[in-house]
Amino acid sequence: GSRNLIINGDQKIWQRGTSFTTITSADYCCDRWRVQHSGLDGNIDVARSTDVPSNKGFYYSQKVSADASETSLDASDLVMIQQVFEGQDLQHLLKGTSDAKKITLSFWVKSSVASTYTIELKDNDNSRTISKSYAISSANTWQYVTLTFDGDTSGSFTNANTGSLIVAFWIDAGSTYTSGTMTTAWQAQVNADRIYDTTGWAESTSPEFYLTGVQLEVGEQATPFEHRSFGDELIRCQRYYYKTVT
């Protein structure tokens, strides 16, 4: 089966390497996952980690950290992890029709800062967004999260290999993205409405954020994580990046 739309959800494929310091914004480190950041005082680092939730079948997580805390979070500062999806792989969601399907995102997460974080779905073709918040109640503790998003009856995805949908795990952001009211229903993108609030992550000392076991599937119920073979996952990743070893 292929019910999980996420590629490399268990962070097992790292063709480019396993440790990256001072990354450029939108760099891909862990295959299919890019890390966006802007305006932070410290540098953002990404690494493959063996810190994972116990007895769930995962061996790796993606660790995002900052090498210095933010003295004062500026309005446009941000840091997030994203995965981008081709529109031709999303036509079965029936977006833009009266039968648009709900989708459920599930994942394991751990952060050094207990706070309320945000997941955003962004329709890149029509500049529409929807967001959901979730609480990390205990710092440095693995937590399982499930969130269900309504289908969008407006704006279809382009049936092509262009990036139509972005799933964003917001780690922190300034007032440019928090000053409005977070939208929990699909609407035209308004920056001020994109996330719930500043989390305090960037202003904390030695902040860390871990992610693994990410699954996105049709329906309102999160099912157990779809563990695919290493070879299957590698082939999916190689559509976007192929490293030749000599």
Q: Could you give the 3-state DSSP secondary structure of residue 214?
A: strand
Q: Starting from the edge strand earliest in sequence, which strands make up the sheet with 78-86, in order?
A: 27-28, 34-38, 78-86, 163-173, 115-123, 128-136, 187-188
Q: Give the amino acid at 196.
A: Y
- Which pTM value belongs to this model? 0.97
Q: Tell me: the pLDDT tens digits for 179-224?
A: 999 999 999 999 999 999 999 999 999 999 999 999 999 999 999 9
pLDDT at 32 over 80: yes
How many residues are present in the chain?
Answer: 246
What percent of the chain stands above pLDDT 90? 97
CB 167 within 8 A of CB 134: no
Q: Where residue 1 falls among pLDDT bands split at 50, 70, 90?
A: low
Question: Residue 2: what pLDDT?
Answer: 84
Q: How far is CA 84 from the centre of its chain?
A: 9
Closest listed residue to residue 91, CA positions, set 156, 185, 166, 151: 156
Which CA distances in Å does 241 have to 95, 166, 219, 237? 28, 18, 30, 6
State mean pLDDT over 21-27: 97
Distance CA 53, CA 96 (A): 37
Q: Tell me: the pLDDT tens digits for 143-186?
A: 999 999 999 999 999 999 999 999 999 999 999 999 999 999 99
Question: Residue 164: what pLDDT?
Answer: 98
Largest CA distance in the chain: 52
